[in-house]
Amino acid sequence: MTAGATCGEVIIAQSLGIMLNEFDATGGLDTNKVGVSEGKLGVMVGKVVGMSLYRGLSMETTLDPTKQPFLYDHKIGGTAVLPGVMGLEALAEAAKAIFPELHVTAIENVNFLSPFKFYRDQSRTVTVHANFQQENNEIIARCHLVGSRQLHGQAEPEVTTHFTATVRLAENQPNAVKEKAPTLPEGAKIAAGDIYRLYFHGPAYQVIKQAWRNGEEVVGLFAENLPANHEPKELPTLIAPRLIELCFQTAGLWEMGTKSRMGLPFQISCITLLRNMSGKEDGMYAVVTPTVNGAFDARVVDAEGNVYLKLQGYRTMELPETIDANLLKPLQMLMR
């Protein structure tokens, strides 16, 4: 190790042979030696663009809203919108791209700044920039996801930052946690048929089979046998995005049932990933607790009480559309 070099710098330099040369198209990065190629790491990784001294690692992927279930089953007002959870997946995949031996253990300080929309069902390119540094024995990647649109009458494309977050990488996952398994409903519950008359989600994102109130918590059971989240369906995901979506939607039921408002994801203080979640969705529960400051904490747990992930400080931004009062009645009765 050279004098003054951090562990993170050494790992990057040794594995990739990076030369921070701003006059090189890829910043001196040999993109063929990055631990990903198209389709190898995940659906949100298309190609590695390069490494910049100022922007960090840059990755791009082009998404077609007519082909990806997470887009054509996630339309608001008829327009496909990138789910926040798939934006987080993109940040995690970019962070892990040059550290394939490390685990994504947490995603912190998440901000959903602006919806990423696919107008007129046309493909768009998602770009992720990740700046790396060492913090104790971990690598942290400060990431942001941007999109570019060429608007009529403008000479330069409009570039918008849509999501930002810090992804934490470590050699080992956090210590596994086991808690009391969710209490199954003995009384009232709301089923998917009533839930998705309220929500806009299509089949691949109708993730709640049923939900119920348990004291000051609301519990959502993951739906079985859902269509694939993405194509090709064999591609892995790092953060089990639909389990995080289960938390979002279960929290949304509380908001609609108690406040008659529907919200989109706005901020998350921290997502902690506690266990390997590859291929695990069926049989999972989201247990969501409102906090005193208007946010939500949540955990995803199985029937044995094994906790797979935790959310802290989840907040939403209210959608301006009003909700049909008749459709709200079953949910309002449940949340009394």
User: Tens of pLDDT along 213-227?
Assistant: 988 999 999 999 999
Domain ranges of the chain: 7-170, 177-334
Confidence (pLDDT) at 309: 95
**Backbone torsions φ then ψ of 142, nearest 5 degrees:** -90, 115
Q: Report the sign of the C-alpha dihedral through residues 291, 301, 196, 107, in that order.
A: positive
Residue ranges of the chain with pLDDT lower than 50? 1-2, 10, 13-23, 36-39
Q: Which CATH class for the 177-334 domain?
A: alpha beta
Residue type at position 17: G
7-170 maps to which CATH number? Answer: 3.10.129.10
b/e 182-219 (16+ beta carbons within 10 angstroms → b)? beebeeebbebebbbebbbbbebbbbbbbbbbeeebbb
DSSP three-state, residue 297: strand
Domain pair 7-170 / 177-334, same fold: yes
Query: Which tokens is 195 given?
Result: 């839930």
**Backbone torsions φ then ψ of 96, nearest 5 degrees:** -85, -10
Q: Alpha-carbon distance 258 to 27, whole Å?
A: 52
Q: Is the pTM of this model over 0.75?
A: yes
Q: Alpha-carbon distance 61 to 44, whole Å?
A: 6
Q: What is the pLDDT of residues 291-315, one digit of tens each?
A: 988 899 999 999 999 999 999 999 9
Helices (H), 83-240: 84-96, 192-198
Q: Alpha-carbon distance 263 to 253, whole Å?
A: 10
Q: Alpha-carbon distance 212 to 247, whole Å?
A: 13
Q: Give 152-161 contacts, CB < 8 A, sequence gap 24+.
A: 160/114, 161/113, 161/114
Confidence (pLDDT) at 232: 92
Q: Alpha-carbon distance 251 to 220, whole Å?
A: 9
DSSP three-state, residue 229: coil
Residue type at position 294: G
Q: Alpha-carbon distance 331 to 9, whole Å?
A: 52
Confidence (pLDDT) at 151: 78
